[in-house]
Amino acid sequence: MQEQDPMQETVKAGFRVLGLVQGIGFRWWAKRIASRLALGGTVRNCPDGSVEVKVEGTSDAVAEMEQALRSGPPGAHVRDVRRFDVHEELPTEFQILI
């Protein structure tokens, strides 16, 4: 896990990941990355075939997560990542939602 810098602001962000991102272990991969970056939040498959990721942590960790989502795990073909604002409370431990 990445150690958080107490001087860095905590931020929240959401990402909609589009492309071939379901059925290839994307959610479990996202959980591993988020845990390594000490991010809280959630990941879930959406009915339209995209994956939604919501995270909370340092701005550096959130930026690193966004960069990772743009590549995805082996087998993924990420076409686009759309960032959106998140205002609700997120779990402190990253969770896969079913």
45 is catalytic: yes
Name the residue among 68, 87, 71 with its Cα closest to residue 79: 71
Residues 37/64, Cβ–Cβ less than 8 Å: yes
Among candidate residues 45, 70, 79, 83, the one labeled active-site is: 45
Q: Which two tokens stand for residue 42?
A: 């959630």
Among candidate residues 27, 32, 70, 79, the one labeled active-site is: 27
Residue whose structure tokens are 């779990």: 91
Q: How many other CB atoms sit within 10 Å of the CB of residue 79?
A: 11
Catalytic residues: 27, 45
